[in-house]
């Protein structure tokens, strides 16, 4: 008799909100999960995944997973629950939604979701219910908006050179992304270039993070000043004859105008703004000016400033000045989201959409729930919500407003979750959700070029149900289950998406595991022209005219203060400039062992991260009387938060860093770091400037 447990390997994709979308090999041992590994034969994943997902068994078999529907039995937020059957819980949700709609019209219901899972069926099915019921629209702005806007203004299409080409570069510039932490696969390819071709790795960030520790050149700049750095780099390129004029004349809109504009944007000018030395700026310019195979890997982090779109556009413009786009291993890359299109029309119920229904801004949930008239767009208050795959009470800016909103007696909230998150704690009904290895879905990469299948590999525990199930069951109770897109299984939806793309179907894809959809070289490098009608790269963006994929629906108008957006790349002080009362600038950079608010529940991640800390320059610490490990309070006009000081000299004076979005309960007073961040919409199309916050710092009393 064989007493060894039977291990077999299943194939999947990482569902988390990470540009890498790794292809996974999953150990399955008698219906339970063992270690997860990166698929070796996937050319982007190349056998490497992050440690937190390798340990997924700790998350999926976690003793604190939600297993039963819960209905609130105490005051809001008091965490007193009674268990309910699925039938009873769903009946209650439907009844509340109908009552809310009867009172205020359908727009009073706001389905709210994000990318806790990136699966197209489980994530986006909530849109189908929304459209069928004419509930308020969701303008999903929090993550990509500032970055995509800046990119689109220049390049006009969201794609770029094959990320695997990084391995063929002579210089890889990792700009505003902590890749070691947030998308480890970038490092696989960048380090290969260094090993095989002696490529230089440059990292530009606001502190000496894990990625910069691996760099050949590290530029620590002040938050929100990347536009100034980019301008000075381009100034040097023009001044020292390193601009590729043949390329500029053929592929760009106004190179002479740019050159003239940059006359005054000297390294001295930028040094004063960025905190870098003139020498650092010139060395960097000469490096990218002489190594034509430079690959600019532009991340999200540096765009999370109120001038972030301007800074993204400015950094992207450097590639057009050097003409590095022409070479294998050269060019700029931010996201392939514009290439990897699957037809989600049916999943999302797009034909059911009524364009007259209002949209509400994801990032402004605080103002929305507290009834700010500008946030409600003239419509009724939000009095009912269904929340899937996101934890706004923790991750959304201006947390005090968000909490106040959720505590409203006239708001009914249903949260579908895997764990009792900060948001679930404030709900009226909590429904337990499956995890990715327990349901079928399909995933698109952002930082690579693959579409990857994630079929159901194990049975969920008794209790949790899929997002798809919740949407279908609510549709039945709300009288829309007969409409197109409803009444199908996950697999049927995946079949249709794959068939419409000519990629086979669920079963054939299960064998194939993934498809590599990298566009041809000429297209990826924009050698057939950029995405604008005239095919030119735009140094002079049309800030409010561009039809970007992330542009808010017309009914919302332009969201942020666009009047100050510059004609050419520049530095604009649209940020929360430090002042006498708030002498420090705070960035809330990612934690290695968490993924946004996820993994804050797994024991190893928690242990490795320790406790909420504030990185502060030793001289700054001394100036406010702080020693290493002291309790430190930071605050501004929105509130105050307590952390522990960690003295660190890898950042500029006047800059402080709080890594990770810790659960609110991990901080004293039960309020998290987003108490400090602002929910005003940045120019022009909104987003969340979560790294752009002025604060005061003092020893906690
Ligand atoms: N481990 C881990 N992985 C993650 C996440 C996580 O929380 N933890 N989050 C996931 C998600 S949702 C996303 S969108 C991606 C985001 O991944 P990234 O593209 O890496 O973006 P961020 O995590 O916002 O920040 C990256 C870096 O930008 C820096 N930064 C902040 N302000 C500035 C600035 O003004 N200029 C410059 N040059 N740098 C600045 C921060 O210090 C940080 O080191 O990562 C995903 N992967
Ligand atoms: N201060 C600060 N705030 C930030 C950021 C920052 O850098 N600093 N980053 C911002 C960014 S870029 C983003 S994207 C947001 C992300 O913030 P969130 O949208 O909250 O992201 P996650 O923590 O990835 O996922 C949220 C939840 O989805 C749940 N979930 C996962 N899979 C499923 C599923 O299949 N079904 C259901 N029902 N639930 C599921 C998880 O349990 C988790 O609680 O945070 C933003 N907020
Ligand atoms: S690196 Fe990103 S995509 Fe890959 S396993 Fe980790 S979280 Fe998932
Ligand atoms: Mo994100």
| pLDDT confidence of residue 29 | 97
C-beta of 390 in contact with ligand 2 (< 6 A): yes
Cα distance between residue 597 and residue 421, in whole Å: 9
C-beta of 48 in contact with ligand 3 (< 6 A): no
Q: What average pLDDT does this structure show over 259-285?
A: 98
How high does pLDDT run on average in the chain?
97
Residue pLDDT, tens place only, 41-57: 999 999 999 999 999 99
Beta strands in 409-454 (DSSP E): 412-417, 429-432, 441-444, 450-454
Contacts of 65 (CB under 8 A, 6+ apart): 418, 419, 432, 461, 464
| pLDDT confidence of residue 549 | 75
C-beta of 429 in contact with ligand 2 (< 6 A): no
pLDDT band at 317 (very low <50, low <70, confident <90, very high): very high
| Residue of 456, 442, 552 lying closest to 505 (CA atoms) | 442
Is the model's pTM score more than 0.95? yes
Q: At residue 3, does pLDDT exceed 70? A: no
User: Mind listing the domains of the chain with CATH numbers?
Assistant: 7-60 (3.30.200.210), 70-139+341-444+459-516 (3.40.50.740), 146-336+522-564 (3.40.228.10), 584-699 (2.40.40.20)
Ligand nearest to the CA of 688: 2
C-beta of 14 in contact with ligand 3 (< 6 A): yes
Residue pLDDT, tens place only, 336-390: 998 888 999 999 999 999 999 999 999 999 999 999 999 999 999 999 999 999 9
Question: Coil, strand, or helix at residue 109?
Answer: strand
C-beta of 145 in contact with ligand 1 (< 6 A): no
Ligand nearest to the CA of 417: 2
pLDDT band at 550 (very low <50, low <70, confident <90, very high): confident
| Residue of 22, 59, 19 lying closest to 37 (CA atoms) | 22
C-beta of 16 in contact with ligand 3 (< 6 A): yes
Asked if 584 contacts 695 with a C-beta cutoff of 8 angstroms, the reply is yes
DSSP β-bridge partners for residue 386: 111, 414
> Checking DSSP bridges between strand 514-516 and strand 450-454, what pairing results, if any?
antiparallel
Q: What average pLDDT does this structure show over 468-488?
A: 98
Q: At residue 433, does pLDDT exceed 90? A: yes
Ligand nearest to the CA of 595: 1
Q: Give the Å distance between the CA of 661 and the centre of ligand 2.
A: 10
> Checking DSSP bridges between strand 514-516 and strand 613-616, what pairing results, if any?
unpaired
Pseudo-torsion of CA 417, 421, 425, 430, nearest 10°?
10
| pLDDT confidence of residue 670 | 97
Q: Give the Å distance between the CA of 589 and the centre of ligand 1.
A: 6
Q: State the DSSP code for 302.
A: G
Residue 363 has which token pair?
A: 């990032």
Pseudo-torsion of CA 548, 554, 559, 562, nearest 10°?
70
* CB count in 10 Å sphere of residue 80: 10
Q: Give the Å distance between the CA of 437 and the centre of ligand 3.
A: 14
| pLDDT confidence of residue 545 | 83
Tell the residue nearest (CA) to atom 47 of ligand 1: 182
606-630 residues labelled b (16+ CB within 10 A) or e (exposed): beebeebbbbbbeebbeebebeeeb
Question: Coil, strand, or helix at residue 615?
Answer: strand
Residue 147 has which token pair?
A: 């970055």
Beta strands in 114-194 (DSSP E): 137-139, 171-175
Ligand nearest to the CA of 207: 1
What residues are neighbours of ligand 4 (ion), with CB under 5 Å?
143
Q: What average pLDDT does this structure show over 574-590?
A: 98
In angstroms, what CA-CA distances link 631 with 105, 514, 627, 667, 671?
49, 49, 9, 11, 15
Testing ligand 2's pocket by substitution, the residue of 53, 386, 391, 425 carrying the most ligand atoms inside 8 A of its CB is 391
C-beta of 177 in contact with ligand 2 (< 6 A): no
C-beta of 18 in contact with ligand 3 (< 6 A): yes
Asked if 684 contacts 543 with a C-beta cutoff of 8 angstroms, the reply is yes
Q: Give the Å distance between the CA of 172 and the centre of ligand 2.
A: 29
Q: What average pLDDT does this structure show over 144-150?
A: 96
Q: What is the per-residue DSSP string for 180-238?
A: HHH-THHHHHHHHHHHHH--EEEEEESB--TTGGG-SEEEE--TT-HHHHHHHHHHHHH
| pLDDT confidence of residue 547 | 65
289-315 residues labelled b (16+ CB within 10 A) or e (exposed): bebbbbbbbbbbbbbbbbbbbbbbbbb
Percent of the chain with pLDDT over 70: 99
Testing ligand 3's pocket by substitution, the residue of 40, 51, 183 carrying the most ligand atoms inside 8 A of its CB is 183
* CB count in 10 Å sphere of residue 269: 17
Ligand nearest to the CA of 362: 2
Instruction: Sort 198 into a burial class: Cβ within 10 Å, 0-12 / 13-18 / 19+.
Output: exposed
C-beta of 178 in contact with ligand 3 (< 6 A): no
Asked if 298 contacts 160 with a C-beta cutoff of 8 angstroms, the reply is no
Which atom number of ligand 1 is nearest to the Cα of residue 17? 12
């Amino acid at each position: 008799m064989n007493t060894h447990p039977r291990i077999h390997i299943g194939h999947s994709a990482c569902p988390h909100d990470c540009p890498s979308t790794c292809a996974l090999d999953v150990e399955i041992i008698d219906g339970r999960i063992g270690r997860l590994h990166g698929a070796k034969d996937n050319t982007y994943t190349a056998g490497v995944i992050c440690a937190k997902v390798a340990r997924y068994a700790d998350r999926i078999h976690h003793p604190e997973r939600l297993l039963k529907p819960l209905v609130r039995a105490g005051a809001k937020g008091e965490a007193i629950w009674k268990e309910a059957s699925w039938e009873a819980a769903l009946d209650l949700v439907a009844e509340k939604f109908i009552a809310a709609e009867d009172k205020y019209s359908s727009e009073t219901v706001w389905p709210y979701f994000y990318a806790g899972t990136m699966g197209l069926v489980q994530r986006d099915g909530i849109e189908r219910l929304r459209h069928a019921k004419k509930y308020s629209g969701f303008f999903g702005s929090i993550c990509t908006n500032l970055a995509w806007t800046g990119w689109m203004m220049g390049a006009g299409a969201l794609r770029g050179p094959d990320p695997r080409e990084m391995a063929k570069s002579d210089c890889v510039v990792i700009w505003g992304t902590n890749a070691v932490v947030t998308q480890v696969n970038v490092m696989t390819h960048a380090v290969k270039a260094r090993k095989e071709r002696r490529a230089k790795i440059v990292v530009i960030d606001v502190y000496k993070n894990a990625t910069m520790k691996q760099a050949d050149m590290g530029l620590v700049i002040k938050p929100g000043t990347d536009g100034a750095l980019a301008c000075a780099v381009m100034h040097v390129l023009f001044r020292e004859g390193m601009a590729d004029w043949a390329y500029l004349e053929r592929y760009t809109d106004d190179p002479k105008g740019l050159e003239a504009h940059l006359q005054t944007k000297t390294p001295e000018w930028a040094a004063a703004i960025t905190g870098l030395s003139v020498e650092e700026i010139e060395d960097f310019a000469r490096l990218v000016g002489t190594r034509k195979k430079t690959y600019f890997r532009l991340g999200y982090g540096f765009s999370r400033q109120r001038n972030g779109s301007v800074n993204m556009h400015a950094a992207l413009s450097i590639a057009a000045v050097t003409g590095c786009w022409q070479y294998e291993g050269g060019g700029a890359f931010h996201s392939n989201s514009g290439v990897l299109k699957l037809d989600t029309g049916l999943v999302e119920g797009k034909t059911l959409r009524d364009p007259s229904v209002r949209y509400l801004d994801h990032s402004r949930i605080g103002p929305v729930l507290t009834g700010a008239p500008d946030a409600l767009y003239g419509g009724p208050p939000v009095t009912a919500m269904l929340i899937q795959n996101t934890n706004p009470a923790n991750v959304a800016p201006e947390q005090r407003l968000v909490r106040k909103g959720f505590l409203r007696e006239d708001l009914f909230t249903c949260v579908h979750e895997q764990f009792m998150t900060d948001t679930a704690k404030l709900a009226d009904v909590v429904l337990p959700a499956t995890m990715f290895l327990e349901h079928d879905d399909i995933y698109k990469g952002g930082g690579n070029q693959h579409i990857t299948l994630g079929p159901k590999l194990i049975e969920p525990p008794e209790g949790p149900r899929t997002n798809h199930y919740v949407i279908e069951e609510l549709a039945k109770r709300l009288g829309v289950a007969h409409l197109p897109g409803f009444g199908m299984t996950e697999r049927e939806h995946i079949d249709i998406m794959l068939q419409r793309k000519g990629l086979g179907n669920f079963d054939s894809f299960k064998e194939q595991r993934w498809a590599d959809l990298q566009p041809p070289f000429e297209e990826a490098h924009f050698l057939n022209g950029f995405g604008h009608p005239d095919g030119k790269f735009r140094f002079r963006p049309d800030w409010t005219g561009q039809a970007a994929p992330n542009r808010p629906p017309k009914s919302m108008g332009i969201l942020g203060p666009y009047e100050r957006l510059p004609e050419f790349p520049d530095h604009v002080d649209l940020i929360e400039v430090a002042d006498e009362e708030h002498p420090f600038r705070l960035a809330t950079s990612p934690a290695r062992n968490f993924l946004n608010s996820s993994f804050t529940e797994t024991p190893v991640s928690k242990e490795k991260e320790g406790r909420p800390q504030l990185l502060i320059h030793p001289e700054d610490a001394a100036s406010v009387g702080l020693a290493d490990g002291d309790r430190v309070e930071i605050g501004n006009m929105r509130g105050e938060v307590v952390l522990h000081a960690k003295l660190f000299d890898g950042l500029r004076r006047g800059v402080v860093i709080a890594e990770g979005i810790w659960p609110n309960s991990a901080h004293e007073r039960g309020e998290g770091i987003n108490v400090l961040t602002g929910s005003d919409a940045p120019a022009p199309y909104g987003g969340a400037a979560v790294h752009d916050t002025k604060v005061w710092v003092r020893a906690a009393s």
